[in-house]
Structure 1
């Protein structure tokens, strides 16, 4: 069945259409990030037309009378770019730096550049940015955009943030793990520093929760310390369409809808939301096949991905203008939901799903789970359309299903591994983690499981205090498992190889996976050049060493079906980690080239909590909990003779529980390297 007969929409008066229009249309307004099509307007004129500029006096009044402002501004009202400028114009920069946090690197960089441009400043001077692998600021910087990880490092260095006069937490509705941690720390700082002003900003969030959280009113001081301000926005109308019947494959439906829009709708770029990199890659491949069949050229339809694993340059490509007759199609994860507004977007396609981390405390494992999105997420995605003219939003689910969605996505604090958070808080001197004031308290079982894991890794002692290794693990921008792996490599004499492996594990995908034809056969044959029986992590090491030995060239990656941009990012990450370890921790690097046994022992010494053995049924069982798991199809061990014992790095839940980043081990290593965690018992199958 072709796309013409499969998807019919855009005619709300036709009862036979697959899509039905929502009569209550949603609105989205222009933003400071959109390049106004009226070219004769100056940047200042564009800026002054933004809705947030009408509320300058209200914002200043709230900040004068309250320490914390909860700012609810509709999508595109100008919150992210205008609030820092308003504060700068009113002299807040004279009292200290105006700091703005963003949940993602690309939003921090692009917003900083836009604000510098609007202010007529050189980017990196008065207006700067700080994020992983990029620092563009100096001692004269007064407005500083940061990722949330950077402000956490700032709190390490300066617990009261005395250099800052205002801290703006943008896109607070995302409620990821580090956001909630920062919100809790800012509450403690605010009690000590009454002069520090805090602004919590978002388009879709539980404003009352944040207001009550930052309200320090007491009997001795009955005055409220926080207030909510809601900002209206100037909006273009969005029509929202739903499916009449559920679709079997939302990736296929996304591709069909893109082609339908391109053939039937007037000019306007398309933004489609999918859950992850693998789905985006599949959708782009399918879309290009459609283009070939229908004789649509790249000059007519320019398709681009947008996800966190892309290099900074590749992420910024989506913001570049195309020629007049070219329609731009961006297929993105939720990285495109907030803060950054891609110019020219008129049509949005929402698959209705999102990929979340979910922590199973009983097994101490994080799972990547694809779940239905929330209504707040759907509204946020819809707000990406209609920025320059009336827009259309296509939701690939029924209106009845939308009504069943939860109002908001569960905060990551309630569904994530807390070991990194606990390490960070303890390094900041907060000993009683169980009594720390989070905006949403995490489940006690998650907290206790994370503490148990840190104790097993040697990061904390029996009294709950940080060990020397724990202090280093708190400083490193890695998970505790990966940090432990690096620390163990010092004693085992394989730190050079382990650093390469850990760096490779920071990117999502290094192999190219064509889905059909000769390309898939060729890619599989080329992967054989690197694969070894010892598992995925040793395979990653072989790939990295071969990439460096061949000059880190794009030609080498093309020949062996490798992802060039991801491997280039690995090189960047490795260089940064090596610089940190040598300068800050005086770590010396050594190498073992004799065999992989030492490297595998080192991996086992850190990843021992995630060990599994081959059950007589042909599947693997985790040593802890005896849960059945399966080798992921992308693992180099998937079609090989299955080893008796493995450790793994990640669990993915689709049709089954699949494990990835696998390394083969010997069962005696668990007793030798983790005798505090395992003991041997006399049971069948020689289980530990």
Structure 2
């Protein structure tokens, strides 16, 4: 192995000398929090056998009757189940087997689409049922359920959308709120919606709604108090000993440190001892995957075959499944994942976890109106969750590429997303449910400034009429029907007026996906030349449209994407999203139209939703956002980088040392006065003044 990758673990890492390095989770019992265990049973790994045998091996199986008894007795139950206990796959089946739901559906929510899909697939196999029959799933732009579905795995966002049509959620008898500790914004809103539905159904003497809240770890007393002093059950898991190591010194480049650690393990560990690496996003993952494959190619014949698999939320379903397949004998699997693998999914064979200690977090600043997407330190709770993935099937190892001192300075728990995100979409959905956001029963109330900022943005978009006590307009009701950011919903609904719905569908679908560009470090120049064929002088949105138009006409899509350094997975995902959006537009009775090559119509349409995301070039050759007067720059990845047009609109701001605009398109300042005259009366452009 090249010397630059040949680090000695003993010098780079030190063992974490605490109880948690050998015993991971230790729950105590109390009268309020009964512990469900099976006694001192010796745990052994299951050999080859039926799925039923594997189910019986899970710790939760031995307490089946006690669990059912507790759920029967209480309207709301909180279950703390250690990692590996089998709670997510087994408890819904237990309730179904004893007909606890009667004629209703058991809904199991997940924070991420990957988890909802893979869990439904696993449970349908265990129940020997076709996916979409007894067991199904529902995620954004994909519904695999039928009238026969009794166990329905769905993202929390999808259940929230169902509540918009039926606030009592009458089709459900039991709702399982899984991975509750993640506290996504949709999960937090769901807590209040489901709690309200339960109370209203009791008040109206309708069939009762049972709530089961499940998590691996969380502030249980906070949850219990919120759900009316709900019963808390502790469930023993199957966590094996884990040795945790920390970096001896602070690492300047966590990505490179992870890469070094992968090959250190690969050099010393036996074959079929797989590795899970936690990184921050798709671009970082794809770049590391490329580096690993290059290095592994030079090591062929010396060490076990190394297979690399990325895992992130926008990865198409059929490629997500590759991660969960068994590693061939004599090989090693390296999974490069975002925080999606912390708790939502279980990957067999993982013996080693490498924790970068970083996560990509979107934080909204109401004062500036900007969404800042930045990489930051994880919390201690996240660190322990990540380490726990190494102990699912046998004893394991966790290598943290940060020091013990850095671990000690981390926050104990992550800040709930609802206290740091843009609430515009949440407020729109709550208003569609006829719920007053300012009085809604949040578990942790979001900042008042964020709520007011969301109401202001919705008013600017024409979704609400504050003169009528914050009531949705006709446009607002239509916007709420679309599973999109309200700005994109407005653009899509405006496309009919500008005669460019075909083009806007493609652009919005691509903006709903991850980046379609691939720029391998070793072939940067070739990639730039290939991408140049699609570049529009108008900016990134039209460039994306050009790419999609070309992609949709070719037959050999995989080969074409390879030749043009484009991500076929993300383009295929965008194509699926576009089809679903087109169906929704037809339901909204929008006329499908195309503007051909008249891209001015497309850019004008983009202004209808992104007019609050305008930046103007100043005399100092820097850009200033019109809304918040923030100094920003065009991101180097933009096709407009270096060209400095006078006035641009952008999709988002990313802060990496300085604030960069991403997905940028040039617009004519005069369009702004024509399209959003009221807004522009309060936000004067220097360009217009000149």
Same structural fold, with TM-score higher than 0.5 when normalized by the shorter chain: yes
Q: What is the rounded CA distance, in whole Å, between the counterparts of 1:39 and 1:59 in structure 2? A: 27
Say whether 1:372 aligns with 2:367: no
Whether the aligned pair in 1 keeps the contact of 2:239 and 2:388 (CA below 8 Å) is: no
Question: For residue 310 of structure 2, what is the aligned residue in structure 1?
Answer: 305
Distance 2:302 2:598 in 1: 51
2:287 partner SS: helix
Q: Distance in 2 between matches of 1:246 and 1:192?
A: 54
Aligned to 1:199, which of 187, 212, 216? 212
Q: In the alignment, what sits opposite 2:513?
A: 507
Cα deviation for residue 66 of structure 1 reads 2.1
Q: Is the partner of 2:678 in helix, strand or coil?
A: coil
Pair 1:560–1:198, CA change in 2 (3 A): same
**Matching residue of 2:299:** 294
Q: Deviations over 1:638-660 (max 9, x none)?
A: 13x21000010011111211111
Deviates more, 1:139-148 or 1:72-81: 139-148
Aligned CA distance change for structure 1 residues 578 and 494 (closer, same or farther; 3 Å):
same
CA contact 1:364–1:453 (8 Å) conserved in 2: no
What does the per-residue CA deviation read over 1:140-198, in whole Å, with 9 as the maximum and x for residues that have no partner?
22211111122122212322122211100110111111111111101111111242110
1:562 is aligned to 566
Aligned to 2:259: 255
Are residue 490 (structure 1) and residue 485 (structure 2) matched?
Answer: no
* Aligned residue in 2 for 1:667: 669
CA contact (8 A) 1:20 1:244 kept: no
1:350-389 matched pairs, under 5 angstroms:
350-389=355-394
CA shift digits 1:269-288 (9 cap, x unpaired): 00000011111122112222
Task: Label 1:135 to 1:595 Cα distance change in 2 as closer, same or farther (>3 A).
Answer: closer
In structure 1, the residue matched to 2:34 is none
Q: For 2:492 and 2:677, locate their aligned partners in 1 and report how far apart those are by CA, in whole Å.
A: 20
Offset of 1:17 from its aligned partner?
A: 5.1
- Counterpart in the other structure of 1:635: 638
The answer to whether the 8 A contact 1:680-1:687 is kept is no
How many pairs are equivalent? 663
SS in 1 for 2:371: strand
User: What's 1:220 paired with?
Assistant: none
Distance 1:683 1:604, change over 3 A: closer
- Work out whether residues 669 and 688 of structure 2, in 8 Å CA contact, stay in contact via their aligned partners in 1: no
> Aligned equivalents of 1:682 and 1:576: distance in 2?
39
Candidates 223, 240, 256, aligned match of 1:210: 223
Give 5+ residue unaligned stretches, structure 2.
26-43, 203-207
Mapped to 2, the partners of 1:680 and 1:408 lie a distance apart of 41
Alignment of 1:430-445 (within 5 A): 430=435, 432-445=436-449
**Is 1:98 paired with 2:106?**
yes
Tell me the distance in 2 between the aligned counterparts of 1:300 and 1:684.
61
1:156 aligns with 2:151: no
8 Å CA contact 2:188, 2:442 repeated in 1: yes
Measure the CA separation in 2 of the matches of 1:681 and 1:148: 37
Q: Is the 8 A contact 1:28 1:76 kept in 2?
A: no
Task: Say if 1:291 and 1:297, in contact at 8 Å, map to a contact too.
Answer: no
Equivalent residue for 2:602?
Answer: 599
Q: Any stretches of 5+ residues in structure 1 without a counterpart? A: 30-35, 216-223
Partner of 1:348: 353
SS at match of 1:193: helix
Is the CA contact 1:166–1:197 (under 8 Å) kept in the aligned structure 2? Answer: yes
TM-score (norm 1): 0.93
> What do residues 93-123 of structure 1 show as CA deviations (whole Å, max 9, x unaligned)?
3242111111112211211122222233333
Worse-matched range after superposition: 644-653 or 360-369: 360-369
Deviates more, 1:131-140 or 1:648-657: 131-140
Q: CA deviation at 1:296?
A: 6.0
Aligned to 1:655: 657
Q: 1:183 to 1:547 in 2, by over 3 A?
A: same
Distance 1:643 1:389, change over 3 A: same
Q: 2:193 aligns with which of 166, 182, 185?
A: 185
Return the offset for 1:5. Answer: 7.3
- When residues 401 and 587 of structure 1 are mapped into structure 2, their CA distance, relative to the original with a 3 A threshold, is same
d(CA) in 2 for partners of 1:132, 1:683: 38
Distance 1:27 1:90, change over 3 A: farther
Equivalence for 2:36: none
CA shift in 2, pair 1:683/1:311, >3 Å: closer
Q: Deviations over 1:174-233 (max 9, x none)?
A: 111111111110111111124211011011211111111110xxxxxxxx5x11111121
User: What SS does structure 1 have at the residue aligned with 2:389?
Assistant: coil
Check whether the contact 2:12–2:248 (CA below 8 A) recurs between aligned residues. yes
State whether structure 2 residue 422 is matched by structure 1 residue 411.
Answer: no
- Counterparts of 1:461 and 1:187, CA distance in 2: 28
| C-alpha contact 2:379 2:413 (8 A) present in aligned 1 | yes
**Residue 624 of structure 2 contacts residue 632 of structure 2 at CA under 8 Å; is this kept in 1?**
yes
Computed over aligned residues only, the root mean square deviation of the Cα atoms, in angstroms, reads 2.1
- The C-alpha deviation readout for 1:68-88, integer Å capped at 9, x for no partner, is 111111111111011111112
Match of 1:269 among 259, 271, 274: 274
Alignment partner of 1:316 is 2:321 = yes
Other structure's SS at 1:617 match: coil
Cα distance change on mapping 1:387 and 1:594 into 2, 3 Å:
closer
The 1-side partners of 2:475 and 2:87 are apart by 42
| Counterpart position of 1:83 | 91
1:612 is matched with which residue? Answer: 615
**Alignment counterpart, residue 278 of structure 1, candidates 283, 291, 300:** 283
**1:335 and 2:337 aligned:** no
